[in-house]
Amino acid sequence: MGILSRIGIALDSDLLKQFDRSIGRQGYTNRSEAFRDLIRDRLVTEETAAPDATVVGTVTLIYDHHAHGVTEKLTELQHAHHELVVSTSHAHLDHESCLEVLIVHGKSVHVEQFAGRLISLKGVQHGRLVMTVPAHSLDHHVKNGHPQNHKH
């Protein structure tokens, strides 16, 4: 972490009250850390948007294992893109529903395409991709004057 800088911002009082309630529910003890997290989240969003950014993430899937062929198709896709899959975890939620979480790693564009194919399979009831980059990647990019679209 670098030298701390103090800044001042002007906010509508009602917006600030809503923000304070929100960060209080999340367990923040002060605004500074909440603002730092918002800024980090914005930088991660920008970094992962670059197609050539190297990302890590999770693909979370809820699916009906009785749906015709969904289990086999999920397995086939994962094998076809094994270079992106670091690990998987599978849980049975009830008689019909399964939860599968994949840890993925690769170029942003490839991870997004892979996740989209998994999520769009017939039988998948809900899916979500979450991508991030290691903190040192953000630090490196910001220090070098280009917080986004940096090639690794």
> 113: which 2 tokens?
């395409």
Give pLDDT tens digits for 83-124: 999 999 999 999 999 999 999 999 999 999 999 999 999 999
**pLDDT tens-digit series, residues 17-38:** 999 999 999 999 999 999 999 9
The pTM of this model reads: 0.80
Total H helices, total E strands in the chain:
5, 4
Side-chain-side CA neighbours of 9 within 13 Å: the count stands at 8
Give the pLDDT confidence score for residue 152 in this predicted structure: 34
Handedness of CA 3, 35, 151, 127 (dihedral sign): positive
Per-residue pLDDT band at 138 (split at 50, 70, 90): low
- Min mean pLDDT across 43-57, 120-134, 136-150 is at 136-150
Residue 130 has pLDDT above 70, yes or no: yes
